[in-house]
């Protein structure tokens, strides 16, 4: 498999879990219905749609936005909003609030992941060693 396709598969996995998690977080009653098949179905549908569109964008000049963490978060948030609109109608009184909230949370997840998981999770490993009292990070 070429490096470009490995990067696209990694991108798909990342763009799948971030919108799925954001969708599960922002749906009304999500934490109370964490085992609900209907909630998981909607969240997985949103994540799948967002992941596929994110991979399709790698074939366009918009792929340059993925190299910047803030541009990446903006793209992920926007795609999640579109994916959420495509997946289901809003559960809130104002029709667009849930979709904007889901996109915002997904963008924040992408931004947090870029800080925490870059360079083989160097920041998390450093925090872990600090908590355990070891003197060096591998």
- Consecutive H or E run containing 76: helix 69-87
> pLDDT tens digits for 87-130?
888 878 888 888 899 899 999 988 888 887 777 777 788 888 88
Q: Which of 29-33, 68-72, 104-108, 134-138 is predicted least confidently?
A: 134-138
> CA distances (Å), 6 to each of 11, 23, 52, 111, in order?
9, 26, 15, 21
Q: What is the pTM of this model?
A: 0.77
- Dist CA 50 CA 16 (whole Å): 7
111: three-class secondary structure by DSSP: helix
Closest to 54 in 3D by CA, of 101, 110, 104, 102? 110
Residues 28-46 have a mean pLDDT of 81
């Amino acid at each position: 498999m070429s490096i470009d396709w490995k990067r696209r598969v990694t991108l798909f996995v990342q763009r799948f879990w971030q919108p799925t998690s954001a969708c599960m977080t922002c749906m009304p009653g999500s934490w109370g219905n964490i085992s609900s098949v209907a909630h998981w179905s909607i969240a997985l549908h949103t994540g799948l749609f967002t992941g596929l569109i994110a991979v399709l964008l790698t074939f366009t000049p918009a792929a340059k936005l993925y190299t910047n963490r803030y541009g990446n978060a903006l793209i992920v948030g926007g795609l999640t909003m579109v994916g959420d609109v495509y997946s289901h109608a809003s559960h809130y009184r104002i029709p667009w609030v849930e979709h904007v909230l889901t996109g915002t949370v997904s963008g924040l997840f992408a931004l947090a992941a870029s800080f925490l998981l870059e360079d083989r999770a160097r920041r998390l490993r450093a925090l872990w060693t600090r908590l355990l009292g070891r003197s060096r990070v591998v």
